[in-house]
Amino acid sequence: MVKSDSIVGLGTGSTTAYAIQYIGERLKSGELQNIVGVPTSFQAGGLSEGVWYPPYHPRCYRPYDIAIDGADEVDPHKNLIKGGGAAHTREKVVDYLANQFIVVVDAGKMVEKLGSVFAVPVEVIPMAITPVMNTIKKMGGKPELRMGVKKAGPVITDQGNMVVDVTFDSIPDPVNLEITLNNIPGVLENGIFVNCVDIVLIGEVKDGQPIVRQI
């Protein structure tokens, strides 16, 4: 799916790390040439360092040819929840700008309804944490400030903001919820992705054999 002379959006997370490695190996072998990578996080940039051309800046006018990313949840309509790595804001910019957006997940990420397993990450500027959480509670959500692991205090995004993970009893209308959350003053972006995915590749083991199916 990735061709030579392409601009490729590089998602964040363990699944996408394999894609970065795979493309990098083909660049080294000469099978692919002139690939420009657009990392969506410090992590993705670090993985691609030394393999890719200088990073392509999102402000440039040429659209990305393809974006490859993972997801925390995928529903039958190819709507997503992303943001387990707190990189959903940059991921959304890159993924929506791509001519083709491909999501790679294992079968355990497939759900009938968004929010079934994973909370919705919401990136919030620090000064607005309390009012944003209060507003979300009034909407029926259960917000929780994401705390760091092996670090005292909250998770800080690459933009210098905090992440609130919001659990909802149900998400019947992800399109409306995405808009409503983003309209709260102090919210930068949330992890609901709708109407942007072209292909979902689902890896699973069937009869003892690894297979990949596509929706």
| DSSP code of residue 151 | S
> Strand 199-206 to strand 187-190: parallel, antiparallel, or no bridges (unpaired)?
unpaired
The number of beta carbons lying within 10 Å of the beta carbon of residue 140 is 10
Measured CA to CA, the distance from residue 146 to residue 2 in angstroms comes to: 35
Strands (E) across the chain are located at: 7-10, 36-39, 66-69, 73-74, 80-81, 101-106, 120-124, 142-145, 162-167, 187-190, 192-193, 199-206, 209-214
- 6: helix, strand or coil: coil
Measured CA to CA, the distance from residue 118 to residue 103 in angstroms comes to: 17
Q: Considering 91, 123, 178, 189, which one is annotated as catalytic?
A: 91
Answer yes or no: 91 catalytic. Answer: yes
Active site residues: 91
